Structure 1
């Protein structure tokens, strides 16, 4: 459901107002509980751009700019989960799975994407770029190191959490990028619904961390 489709630019104004109120409320809560937040507004330097950390405002502006470029170049907002779904389907096909047995994958347009090169898919190429870019940024900052997992319980928790997040992202037609960030950026109501349930899941996940002897 698009707020702009429902109420025109009034829907966009309503969302901007809600975001402003939410930001103001979080700012006041942060200030009350933890004191004045640091690093919110900070003039970027060449060193901070390459080695970090970035201020929250700089990061937000970069995300907004990149999402706008994605919309202009790809014709749709930024997404991540579809790439993983496509890779899994391609792997299953190599193992003998017949995509025509699935109502979703047997659609002509979807089947064409499945049969094409993975480098012809915009989301997949962007995912590759994110991984390589993150590795490059970590290497430049001197943070690209192999770290030993804290414990087997931590590895188990990561595996369970990853599977649940992946399955949930598929059910929600996107993760925190495609469903939440890009959803709200395109004034879609489902972005607000997504974050409401994501916060509930986060509260539950934090409470379950003690089962794996993980500190909060």
Structure 2
């Protein structure tokens, strides 16, 4: 058998393995917990494929804008948010979607969000990814991001231990644009803000480079949708649509990092620890999640789906090839970044998905505060990156 044949079969077999595990998980969840949870795992798989094939990252997009004033990735995020608010706000205003009660992520605006988002933003650049980026790059075969993920979980657990103290600090009551302006008014205000951000990126990019960066030319072929890459704007719209499907199935937007806190707590208790007395785990929802099977947790199921979906996508693209020769400084950055990501996410009521994407899509002002504070953290992180990495600015292909 030729080397070429082996090279062709290996990605296909890995993709089939990932698809098989995903299918078994979906069937098992359907039998044990019902079709809704099984459907959410499938949605998670779709998220993973979109994130990987569209190379849709938050960390890399922010880093490139901060370092090079290239704003194509940031503008794609504004399109994603614009589609999301148009879909979300009418449903949130009525409180139901296709017969399912729905609610957004609306959180207080206070010191904990400001500090947590800043720490999370710093962790993004040191860890090499955000919450969604960590999951899809792990699924895509990035061995270094396994370190980031492990310490993301540790940082999340530590954050739950300190959560009650942070919530005792000054904060304003939650504010929702949907409640203040109604669905139509909230959409108009949000779209205006997205447009302002997009225009600022255009002005700054043209001032630095004279013209806007052109999207990479993607060869059209019959296998493109299986093997990728996908256009960035397609990824932006697809993520908004999948988040809307999540809202319909789960009754709330897409989230990621609450599962990391749960995994950390379960692991800690398995070695004799006890987190039940911590303030975070005394709220009814978190206490119920701690007592229940981890497989009944919506966020856990979707996170596993994301990893498997990215694994399938990377294998189909022929790019699943983990490398374990990681430089020491990069390992140190992954550990520090993971801790900051996990701790910051708990303080800030979420990450780039739950607080930024989900918060703004819910009309919550805490999502906008998260954006400003996390961006400031990214600016510091970009300045620190040269000590840990050789190339501080432009991300590598398929990195976040």
Asked if these proteins are the same fold (TM beyond 0.5), I'd say: yes
Bigger drift between 46-55 and 61-70 goes to 46-55
Correspondent of 1:128 among 293, 300, 304? 304
Q: Which residue of 2 aligns with 1:21?
A: 196
Q: Which residue of 2 aligns with 1:85?
A: 261
CA distance in 2, matches of 1:122, 1:112: 13
- Aligned residue-pair number: 216
The equivalences for 1:27-46 within 5 A come to 27-34=202-209, 35-39=211-215, 46=222
| 8 Å contact from structure 1 (residues 99, 106) kept in 2 | no
Unaligned 5+ runs, structure 1: none
Q: Which residue of 2 aligns with 1:103?
A: 279
CA distance in 1, matches of 2:376, 2:179: 28
CA distance in 1, matches of 2:276, 2:242: 36
CA distance in 2, matches of 1:61, 1:42: 18
Unaligned 5+ runs, structure 2: 1-174, 393-400
Q: Which residue of 2 aligns with 1:212?
A: 388
Displacement of 1:47 after TM fit?
A: 2.9
The equivalences for 1:66-85 within 5 A come to 66-85=242-261
CA distance in 2, matches of 1:152, 1:184: 37
CA distance in 1, matches of 2:189, 2:309: 35
Displacement of 1:113 after TM fit?
A: 1.5
CA distance in 2, matches of 1:49, 1:37: 24
Bigger drift between 158-167 and 74-83 goes to 158-167
Say if 2:348 is the partner of 1:172: yes
Correspondent of 1:202 among 372, 378, 384? 378
CA distance in 2, matches of 1:47, 1:21: 37
TM-score w.r.t. length of structure 2: 0.51
Q: Which residue of 1 aligns with 2:132?
A: none
Q: Which residue of 2 aligns with 1:3?
A: 177
| 8 Å contact from structure 1 (residues 93, 99) kept in 2 | yes
Q: Which residue of 1 aligns with 2:323?
A: 147
- Structure of greater relative contact order (alpha carbons < 8 Å, 6+ residues apart): 2
Say if 2:304 is the partner of 1:118: no
TM-score w.r.t. length of structure 1: 0.90
Displacement of 1:77 after TM fit?
A: 0.7
1:100 counterpart SS class? coil
CA distance in 2, matches of 1:124, 1:55: 28
CA 1:165–1:142 in 2, change beyond 3 Å: closer, same or farther? same
Displacement of 1:43 after TM fit?
A: 9.7
Say if 2:338 is the partner of 1:162: yes
CA 1:146–1:109 in 2, change beyond 3 Å: closer, same or farther? closer
CA 1:75–1:211 in 2, change beyond 3 Å: closer, same or farther? same
CA 1:117–1:59 in 2, change beyond 3 Å: closer, same or farther? same
